[in-house]
Amino acid sequence: MNLTAAIFMGLSWACVLALTGFCFWTVFRVDRKGNDTRRRSRQK
């Protein structure tokens, strides 16, 4: 695989992985703190 292709593929993959990682990390962090509004309303 040539270097330019590797850079473009690596950058694209890194961006996607970072975005997905950030989103799920935030979702689980928020929900673990009990901020999931639906779960909260169901617990009431």
Q: How many other β-carbons are positioned within 10 Å of the β-carbon of residue 27? A: 11
8 sits near another protein (criterion: CB under 8 A): yes
34 sits near another protein (criterion: CB under 8 A): no
**CA dihedral sign of residues 6, 10, 11, 12:** positive
Q: CB 5 → another protein: shortest distance, Å?
A: 4
Site of interaction with another protein (CB under 8 A): 1-2, 4-6, 8-9, 11-13, 15-17, 19-20, 22-24, 26-27, 30-31, 35-39, 41
